[in-house]
Structures are given as structure tokens and as C-alpha cells.
Amino acid sequence: MKLIQKIASKQTYTVRNAVLRHGKPIESCRFDGDDLETTTHFGLVVAKNIIGIVSIFQHKSDIFVVGNQYQIRGMAVLEDFQQKGFGRELILYCEKYILTKNGNLIWFNARENAVKFYEKLGYTKQGNPFIIDGIGSHYVMYKMLT
């Protein structure tokens, strides 16, 4: 059985650690703002195991002028489950959720190697690539929802 459900911030750590912070201490898996009331974490559960995660932060970027902005962070699918459509399902789920919150725009810092994945889902690169220390090259990407 497969479902997407809200999870607690700490429940993201296993997948964050395996996919996004590989070889780094578990403390590196805690993000600022993880436990704000306005932050939501979703897990994609397959056979009772969380195999994919995504977190939504109500966070305005100065790059964009529109009002109600949401930032996606910590998007990850366990390696054995990648390229099976789960990442797409998580992003589409986020978009529906953010629309229920009257969000106007989704933005995030995309790892360079994931840019094509997001482009396939209708996201656009904004500006030049930049380095996040210890992780690598990223682009800001966004999609207007309304």
C-alpha cells in the first residue's frame, strides 16, 4: 500500500540523512524552521516505510514580488525508489496542499542535478547558479500557482 501523509519533522531525518546529508551527522538533518506552526512535512509511505519526503515552509524570497510564497525544502526519495514517479507525486501533492493555503508561488533552491526533474514539472530557473557550502551548485526555481 502507498500513501502520502503528514509526518513530524524528526520522521524526515532517516531519508534526509540517506539522500541529502549522506555521511553527515544526524544533526545536519534538522533545518531551521522545521517545527514552526507554518511548516508542514509530508512522507510518502510504501509498505509502512517512509521512502520519500518533502517539507513546505511559508517563506518569502526577496527575489519574487508576489504575496503568499511557499518554499519547498528537503525533497528526497530513497535511492532504491527513485525514477518510479514518487518524486513527481510528492511535488504534485505539495502544489495541491499549497493551493488550499491560497499560496501564489512555490520556490526552492534546486540541486543542479535535479533541475531537469523540476523542469518536467513546470518549474523555471531564476538567475545564475550558486554554491551552497558542503552541498554544491544550486539554482533558484519557481512556479506561479495563481
Ligand X SMILES: CC(C)(COP(=O)(O)OP(=O)(O)OC[C@H]1O[C@@H](n2cnc3c(N)ncnc32)[C@H](O)[C@@H]1OP(=O)(O)O)[C@@H](O)C(=O)NCCC(=O)NCCS
Residues making contact with ligand X (CB under 6 A): 19-20, 75-77, 82-88, 110-111, 113-114, 116-117, 120
Closest residue to ligand X: CB criterion: 87
Strands 49-58 and 2-7: unpaired
Q: Which is nearer to ligand X, 59 or 111 (CB)?
A: 111
The owner of cell 554554491 is: 131
Q: At closest approach, how far in Å is the CB of 145 from ligand X?
A: 19
State the cell numbers at 23.
555521511
Nearest approach, Cβ of 108 to ligand X (angstroms)?
7
Residue with cell 511559508: 58
**Least distance in Å: CB of 79 to ligand X?**
8
Contacts of 58 (CB under 8 A, 6+ apart): 36, 38, 39, 68, 69, 70, 71, 101
Task: Indicate the residue among 64 and 117 with the shorter CB distance to ligand X.
Answer: 117
